[in-house]
């Protein structure tokens, strides 16, 4: 513990180690609390703020950022216009702290290049003076942090940047730093450097090639191959051999993970590099291995049930409301409730939000699609839209339909009648061509068979108190395909684009996703309804269109719940009125 300011200054002069003293901030705080002199107390405060600023990759950053956006410390705390810090920058001798004082001044409103020059000179002097054990990982990490700051500053003000690079070259292979830090520093320079000379790049390339060819760091072969792949284009060298070698490592890794879902991650990485290498033979071999490995994936469902008094009260209200709706309301009232309710389904914003448990930050999260393929999606969390659909929307829909069926208010006949009279599906979209033949669509006729199949199976399930899978296959397959047809019909009739012309002059229907993106469609359909369509039919959610069209669904992937969601989507899309456009 410091008894006075002089002891603190002497400590800074003697502190020549790479590691940051985490106790220092508290020691300075304690010193400030015991000082009575107003000026000395202020000096201690400035030293406390100085200590609590962190150097990271060439930037002086605050110790913490609050949820409000406020930071501690910030430059406004130096209410003496940095007079004290300027004095310390001149008086301190230790290059470790002389660099930081000057770096702080350069980042402040007094952003003069002279401060940057002094920071660079002293960072350089400091890292050249330090030594540390080969197994001291913390010191290796700290060394890179100081070097990164030195490099970024030298690039920013064009001061001693060639010397900095030559210094790194001089220590590569000298065992001053470990193999991983050598790789990491070279990668950092490639990513952050500006106009790095070809001779430097060639040195990095030759060393990395030597490491991989001679197995100098066997555990780091993948990292150095990645470095060679980054360096090759800059030197007009084909990266294909290194893509092939890296892919071989991933295939070898996969052999150690038999009957483990992680094997798919290795196969995917191997395929990516074989594709970049243009290795058709190995692309085919690894693709076959990937398909075979799917048999060993066992993606178990873990259920966690939670309830509380408010949730019970919520379902009591819904239960009472659906009783009244299906007992006292007419068929039309029930269908209109599903069509127009703004509480049954999630809000559009929930589709892009994710609940990410803290534990996800500690593990590698791999996402699979319905076909047990590793998904390329960047989303790695629990989607709140899906949770709402599963736990609230589906349950409420089933309450309405099951009670409506039991009360003879909901049936195939009543739904067809509602669609005929209260949706644009009931319009006649057929016409006679020049030969007198009828063309076009009668959408009610096309929808009726699938809806009949759904209601027949639903009534059986209700009577037998069971849940069927096979009985919903025909209804769901048909409704998914018909919905896309309805969406295209709707788009044509509101004057939205449904086709596009390719560069070769051929005409092609635009994708389902582009139909939903159209401005004219979004001007008519509320964003919450569009979000429901995205969730049901695109890769943003259940991806029904893709999974049905490519036969990815197995029997037990079908359910009454999916049928109910499709009927709800039909009702929502059908509620609009428009004049037909020929």
pLDDT in tens, 472-497: 999 999 999 999 999 999 998 898 88
pLDDT band at 358 (very low <50, low <70, confident <90, very high): very low
pLDDT value of residue 306: 56
Per-residue pLDDT at 557 exceeds 80: yes
Query: If you compute the radius of gyration of the chain from its CA atoms, what whole number of angstroms results?
Result: 34
Q: What is the mean pLDDT of residues 165-190?
A: 95
More confident call, 358 vs 435: 435
Range of the domain at 264: 238-298
pLDDT value of residue 464: 83
203 plus 326 within the same structural domain: no
Separate counts of helices (H) and strands (E) for the chain: 26, 10
Q: Which two tokens stand for residue 386?
A: 């899906």
In a domain, 303, yes or no: no
The packing angle between helices 412-422 and 443-464, to 10°, is 150
Task: Identify the DSSP state of 372.
Answer: S
* CA neighbor of 191 nearest in space, from 247, 242, 151, 225: 151
What share of the chain has pLDDT > 90, as a percent?
65
Per-residue pLDDT at 305 exceeds 60: no
Q: What is the mean pLDDT of residues 33-53?
A: 93
| Domain-ending residue, one of 234, 260, 283 | 234
> Per mean pLDDT, which range of 199-208, 216-225, 402-411, 570-579 is the poorest?
570-579
In a domain, 304, yes or no: no
Per-residue pLDDT at 387 exceeds 90: no
In a domain, 347, yes or no: yes
In a domain, 439, yes or no: yes
Report d(CA 251, CA 79) in Å as an integer: 60
Three-state secondary structure call for residue 359: helix
What share of the chain has pLDDT > 70, as a percent?
90
Report d(CA 352, CA 381) in Å as an integer: 11
Buried b (16+ CB within 10 A) or exposed e, 477-509: bbbbebbbebbbbbbbbbebebeeeeeeeeeee
Per-residue pLDDT at 215 exceeds 60: yes
Find the DSSP H helices in 329-411.
331-340, 384-388, 394-406
183 plus 286 within the same structural domain: no
Other residues' Cβ atoms within 10 Å of the Cβ of residue 234: 14
Contact 157, 130 (CB under 8 A): no
Residue 481: phi, psi to the nearest 5? -70, -40
Residue 432: phi, psi to the nearest 5? -95, 130
Residue 321: phi, psi to the nearest 5? -65, -45
211 plus 243 within the same structural domain: no
226 plus 279 within the same structural domain: no
Contacts within 8 Å (CB) and 24+ apart, 244-248: 244/273, 244/274, 244/277, 244/279, 244/282, 245/212, 246/222, 246/273, 247/271, 247/272, 247/273, 247/274, 247/277, 247/279, 247/282, 247/286
In a domain, 14, yes or no: yes
Contact 237, 205 (CB under 8 A): yes
Structure confidence by residue, pLDDT tens digits, 81-138: 999 999 999 999 999 999 999 999 999 998 899 999 999 999 999 999 999 998 899 9
Report d(CA 140, CA 19) in Å as an integer: 10
β partners of residue 499: 509
| Domain-ending residue, one of 234, 265, 290 | 234
160 plus 264 within the same structural domain: no
In a domain, 334, yes or no: yes
114 plus 181 within the same structural domain: yes
Other residues' Cβ atoms within 10 Å of the Cβ of residue 77: 13
Q: Which two tokens stand for residue 250?
A: 């991933």
Report d(CA 288, CA 294) in Å as an integer: 10
Report d(CA 161, CA 157) in Å as an integer: 9
Per-residue pLDDT at 260 exceeds 70: no
Per-residue pLDDT at 361 exceeds 50: no
Report d(CA 14, CA 506) in Å as an integer: 76
The structure's pTM equals 0.60
Contact 460, 471 (CB under 8 A): yes
Three-state secondary structure call for residue 71: strand
251 plus 349 within the same structural domain: no
Distances (CA, A) of 13 to 19, 92, 101, 423, 561: 15, 7, 13, 82, 71
Other residues' Cβ atoms within 10 Å of the Cβ of residue 236: 7
In a domain, 489, yes or no: yes
pLDDT value of residue 148: 95
Contact 98, 122 (CB under 8 A): yes
pLDDT value of residue 581: 53
Number of domains in the chain: 3
Report d(CA 532, CA 394) in Å as an integer: 13
Report d(CA 318, CA 339) in Å as an integer: 17
283 plus 371 within the same structural domain: no
Per-residue pLDDT at 363 exceeds 50: no
Distances (CA, A) of 359 to 263, 362, 364, 367, 376: 22, 5, 10, 15, 21
348 plus 398 within the same structural domain: yes
Residue 346: phi, psi to the nearest 5? -65, 165
pLDDT value of residue 462: 85
> Per mean pLDDT, which range of 258-262, 357-361, 458-462 is the poorest?
357-361
The DSSP H or E segment spanning 566 is helix 560-573
Q: Which two tokens stand for residue 26?
A: 């508290």
Torsion angle of alpha carbons 254, 259, 261, 267, nearest 10°? 30
| Domain-ending residue, one of 180, 204, 234 | 234
533 plus 413 within the same structural domain: yes
133 plus 277 within the same structural domain: no
Contact 272, 286 (CB under 8 A): no
pLDDT value of residue 307: 61
* CA neighbor of 124 nearest in space, from 135, 136, 132, 116: 116
402 plus 369 within the same structural domain: yes
In a domain, 578, yes or no: no
Bridge pairing between strands 499-501 and 438-441? unpaired
Three-state secondary structure call for residue 432: strand
């Amino acid at each position: 513990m410091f008894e006075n300011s002089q002891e603190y200054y002497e400590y800074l002069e003697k502190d020549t180690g790479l590691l940051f003293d985490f106790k220092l901030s508290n020691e300075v705080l304690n010193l400030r609390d015991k000082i009575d002199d107003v000026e000395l107390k202020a000096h201690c405060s400035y030293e406390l703020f100085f200590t609590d600023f962190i150097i990271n990759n060439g930037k002086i950053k605050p110790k913490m950022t609050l949820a409000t956006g406020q930071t501690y410390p910030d430059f406004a705390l130096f209410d003496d216009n940095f007079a004290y810090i300027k004095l310390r920058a001149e008086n301190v001798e230790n290059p470790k702290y002389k660099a930081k004082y000057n770096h702080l001044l350069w980042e402040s409103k007094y952003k003069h290049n002279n401060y940057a020059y002094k920071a660079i000179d002293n960072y350089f002097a400091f890292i050249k003076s330090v030594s540390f054990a080969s197994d001291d990982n913390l010191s290796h990490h700290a060394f890179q942090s100081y070097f990164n700051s030195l490099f970024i500053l030298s690039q920013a003000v064009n001061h001693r940047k060639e010397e900095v690079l030559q210094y790194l070259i001089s220590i590569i292979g000298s065992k001053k730093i470990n193999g991983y830090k050598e790789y990491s520093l070279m990668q950092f320079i490639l990513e952050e450097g500006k106009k790095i000379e070809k001779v430097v790049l060639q040195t990095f390339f030759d060393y990395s090639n030597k490491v991989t060819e001679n197995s100098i760091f066997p555990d780091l072969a993948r990292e150095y191959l990645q470095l060679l792949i980054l360096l090759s284009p800059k030197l007009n060298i084909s990266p294909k051999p290194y893509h092939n070698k890296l892919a071989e490592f991933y295939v070898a890794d996969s052999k150690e993970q038999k009957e483990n879902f992680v094997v798919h991650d290795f196969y995917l990485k191997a395929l990516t590099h074989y594709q970049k290498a243009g290795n058709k033979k190995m692309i085919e071999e690894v693709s076959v291995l990937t398909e075979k490995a799917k048999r060993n994936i066992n993606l178990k469902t873990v259920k966690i049930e939670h309830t509380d008094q408010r949730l019970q009260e919520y379902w009591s209200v819904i239960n009472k409301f659906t009783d009244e709706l299906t007992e006292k309301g007419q068929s039309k009232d029930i269908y209109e409730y599903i069509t127009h309710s703004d509480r049954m389904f999630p809000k559009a914003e929930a589709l892009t939000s994710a609940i990410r448990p803290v534990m996800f930050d500690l593990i590698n999260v791999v996402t699979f699609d319905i076909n047990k393929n590793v998904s390329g999606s960047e989303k790695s969390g629990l989607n709140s839209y899906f949770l709402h659909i599963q736990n609230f929307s589906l349950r409420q829909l089933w309450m309405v339909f099951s009670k409506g069926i039991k009360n003879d208010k909901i049936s195939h006949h009543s739904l067809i009648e509602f669609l005929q009279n209260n949706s644009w599906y009931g319009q006649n979209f057929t016409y006679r061509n020049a030969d007198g033949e009828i063309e076009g669509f009668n959408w009610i006729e096309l929808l009726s068979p699938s809806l009949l199949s759904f209601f027949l199976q639903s009534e059986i399930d209700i009577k037998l108190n069971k849940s069927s899978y096979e009985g919903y296959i025909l209804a769901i397959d048909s409704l998914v395909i018909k919905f896309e047809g309805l969406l295209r019909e709707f788009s044509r009739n509101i004057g939205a684009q449904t086709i596009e012309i390719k560069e070769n002059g051929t005409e092609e229907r635009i994708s389902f996703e582009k139909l939903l993106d159209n401005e004219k469609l979004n001007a008519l359909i509320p964003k919450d309804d569009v979000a429901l369509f995205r969730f049901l039919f695109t890769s943003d959610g259940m991806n029904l269109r893709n999974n049905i069209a490519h036969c990815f669904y197995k029997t037990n992937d079908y359910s009454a719940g999916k049928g109910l969601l499709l009927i709800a989507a039909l009702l929502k899309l059908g509620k609009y009125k428009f004049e037909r456009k020929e």
